[in-house]
A = this chain, B = another copy of it.
């Protein structure tokens, strides 16, 4: 079966449809309040990466919000895989996909009115990875800056749930983007230790060991976990704990992990060269190579091929 349309398909409350037909009332609570959650994986050559881990994490976010999506984890895995399959004809142009699962709590009832759709809105969708936009950073290394705003503390709203409330990070990032449009903001936590960027975890390397913030104040990244797994196989110790600005200034190497970046080296931190300035550094490079071998897709080449 060939699919000729160039419009991506999404899945919305049980049906597949072109994504531009997935329209939602402005009265949906996720639009009004960000009252929803999501998760996001990527494909490697069209194969979804650690889909089950992502879906499991998604249900932990939903549980924290006390939001019952009305669909089982396995069903959501299946739908996600179908989204990949149905959009496969479009993938060659996209390179590879981000696959998103999103649930909002649905519409508030207005007194005795009967809405067309009650209960949660559930969407599974895909978009092309931003390969071109980030190609420069894979060539040169990332520039990380810590803004003045602190990541929301766990007793206010848990940063461990991946929700539709992103303004803390959006606002913090604005002062960074104002002076470095390609820079990456990594917020400090309530105690002043490194926390996380928007959708990314941070690692530093010192004396042959990896250090990364513990899960207390950050999203439990699936690529972060992948990095733990690769490090174990390479016999590189990983230590989870508080990382402060002293650690960051003295890092020999630094890198970010995220669904889309996988692992990407950092060349500067708050304007100072990291280590000797090479990004990725040698241990980071070993992890990237192991990552590529594990997923069977040279994601670095994917990015660099899009350099304009």
Contact = CB atoms under 8 A, between A and B. Distances in A.
Interface of A: 10, 12, 19-20, 22-28, 30-36, 38, 60, 63-66, 102, 104, 110-111, 116, 121, 123, 125, 127-128, 130, 132-133, 145-158, 160-161, 163-168, 170-171, 174-175, 177-180, 188, 190-193, 216, 242, 244-246, 249-250, 270-272
A245 B31 contact: no
A13 to B, nearest CB: 11
B20 A249 contact: no
15 contacts: A12-B26, A19-B26, A32-B38, A33-B167, A63-B250, A66-B249, A111-B128, A111-B133, A148-B192, A151-B156, A153-B190, A154-B193, A165-B165, A165-B167, A175-B272
Contact of A66 (B191, B193, B272): B272
A228 to B, nearest CB: 15
A20 B66 CA distance: 27
A156 B158 contact: no
Most buried by B among A27, A132, A165: A165
A165 B33 contact: yes
Contact of A150 (B32, B111, B153): B153
Contacts of A157: 149, 152, 167-168, 171
A33 B161 contact: no
Copies of the protein in its oligomer = 6
A110 B123 contact: no
A150 B156 contact: yes
Contacts of A133: 111
A130 B108 CA distance: 12
Greatest chain B CB density within 10 A among A20, A116, A271 is at: A271
B34 A167 contact: yes
B155 A192 contact: yes
Contacts of A170: 33, 35, 65
Contacts of A36: 31
A250 B215 CA distance: 14
Nearest to A306: B111
Contacts of A25: 20, 22-24
Contacts of A125: 26
B250 A60 contact: yes
Contact of A164 (B22, B33, B111, B177): B33
Most buried by B among A110, A116, A156, A170: A156
A270 B20 contact: no
B149 A245 contact: yes
